[in-house]
Every structure is written in structure tokens, then in C-alpha cells.
Amino acid sequence: MYALFKKELTGFLGSLLGYIVIGVFLVANGLVLWWMPFSNILDYGYATIDPLFINAPYVFLLLIPAITMRTFAEEKKTGTIETLFTKPISDLQIIAAKYLASLVLVIISLLPTLVYVYTVGYLANPRWDIDFGAVWGSYLGLLLLSSVYIAIGIFSSTLTDNQIISFIYSVCICLFLTFGLSEISNFNSVRVIDLLIINLGIAEHYNSISRGVIDSRDVFYFLGAVTLFLAAANFTLQRRKW
């Protein structure tokens, strides 16, 4: 499993795709934090890193499917998936290796944003007068959000041998779970059902953690969603063998 994980991660970092993902993420968030008129920190009048965490899910909505679209779709198209299945590791280990490699790439793209935190803290008056609890909670929320997006992307990649179709599937599922369910709840007049639909969506749990409140229910939601989609990916691979 480690060998496959290393191969996948090296494949990301050894290709242009990995650096494009990291570069686009940093440039997009850098523009939002320091240049865009509606979110420019210098025009806010107070020290906050909130625009990063508000904007990042939208960026990841496109970038993470771009990372994961090749995980299994490319293996199917080139025929190497058959060779992969003959290796002395289980399907779950194959999925886990590809999942962890994608997650590590996302973490690598997040690490440089700590410079933004340092810069905002340094510019604050008084210095370092920012809500670090909310900041670290937001980073945890963003990491958990990314974990679900990656699981969805891997599941989508098992459904087809076309990377573009895999990308579209992944974006649509992520978009629906993040924003679609919230919109659906607006059409219902029964409050209990509204709350149920909203709580099934990603946005409610991400926003909760981003406020710096680490609720075990939110953490279990993300872990449950990751488990569900990785299990679905495993089922899809198993069905292909029948």
C-alpha cells in the first residue's frame, strides 16, 4: 500500500497537474485576501482571515475533482487497472492509497496559506490580535471538507474511464451536497424537514466548525461521508470484477 501511495503522490508532484492545483489555489485565495474589493483585508479595517475560508470551498469545488478525476478513470482507460488488481493488496488498500495521496497534495496546498495567517496577525493592531481559535477551527473544517470532496472524486472516478466525465460527476455531487440541499430546504415549509435536509448538506457542518466550535456531530458527519463514498467506490470496483 505504501508503495502505491508513494507512486500516486510522486505522480502528482512529478506532473504539471500537482503544481497547477497548488498554484491556482494560492493565487485565487491571494487575490481574494489582498486585492478583490469585496474581500480585501486591507480595506476591512480589522484583522481577519475569514475570506480565505469563505472562498476556499469554491476553489476546491473545481480543483479537487481535477486531482481525483484520474485516480481510477485513467487506470481503466490505459488498461493498467487489471495489473493493479493483481498486486498483493486489497481493493480497499488501493482506494486508501489513492485517497491519502490526494489528501496529502491538498494539505501541501494549504500549508503556504499559513503565511497569510502570519501576515494578518503581524499587521493587526494590537499585533496578533486575531481569533486563532476560529482560524484553526476553520483549517480543520477545510481539511474535513477536502476529505469529503476527495472521497466523492474517487468514487466518481470509479464510475467511468473518461476523466472529463469523472470530473463532471464529482463537481455535480459536491455542488449538490454543499449548496443544493440548502436550496432545496427553501422550498419546504415544514421546519423539521428543512433542518433535516440542511443537516444532510456539507455547508451546515463546515460553517459550524469554521466558527471555531468543534462539535463531535460535525466531525462524525464528515468522517461518515468519507466512509460512505469510499465504500461506494469499493463496491463499484468489486462489481466490475463480477
Average model confidence (pLDDT) for the chain? 83
Residue range 175-219, pLDDT digits in tens: 999 888 777 766 665 566 667 777 888 888 888 887 777 888 889
Taking the C-alpha atoms of 75, 108, 56 and 118 in order, what is their torsion angle to the nearest 10 degrees?
Answer: 180
Number of Cβ within 10 Å of residue 212's Cβ equals 16
The answer, yes or no, to whether residue 38 has pLDDT greater than 70, is no
What does the chain come to in residues?
242
The answer, yes or no, to whether residue 125 has pLDDT greater than 80, is no
Taking the C-alpha atoms of 98, 102, 108 and 113 in order, what is their torsion angle to the nearest 10 degrees?
Answer: -160
The answer, yes or no, to whether residue 83 has pLDDT greater than 70, is yes
The fraction of the chain above a pLDDT of 90, given in percent, is 29
What pLDDT shows up at residue 186? Answer: 67
What pLDDT shows up at residue 228? Answer: 96
Specify the number of domains making up the chain. 1
CB environment 128-143: b (16+ within 10 A), e (fewer) = eebeeebbebbbbbbe
Number of Cβ within 10 Å of residue 62's Cβ equals 17
Find the mean pLDDT for residues 234-242. Answer: 77
Cell of 110: 494549504
What pLDDT shows up at residue 235? Answer: 93
Residues spanned by the domain of 118: 2-241
Nearest CA-CA partner of 147 in 204, 72, 223, 208: 223
Residue range 133-165, pLDDT digits in tens: 788 888 998 999 999 999 999 999 999 989 999
Q: Predicted confidence band at 123 (pLDDT cuts at 50, 70, 90)?
A: confident
What pLDDT shows up at residue 91? Answer: 86
Residue 102 to residue 153: CA distance in whole angstroms: 10
- Per the model's pLDDT, the better-predicted residue between 78 and 195 turns out to be 78
Cell of 121: 496577525
- Per the model's pLDDT, the better-predicted residue between 23 and 46 turns out to be 23
Residue range 86-112, pLDDT digits in tens: 778 888 899 999 999 999 989 988 888
The model scores a pTM over 0.85: yes
Distance in Å from the first CA to the final CA of the chain: 24
Residue type, 173: I
- Per the model's pLDDT, the better-predicted residue between 98 and 35 turns out to be 98
Residue 16 to residue 18: CA distance in whole angstroms: 6
What pLDDT shows up at residue 143? Answer: 93
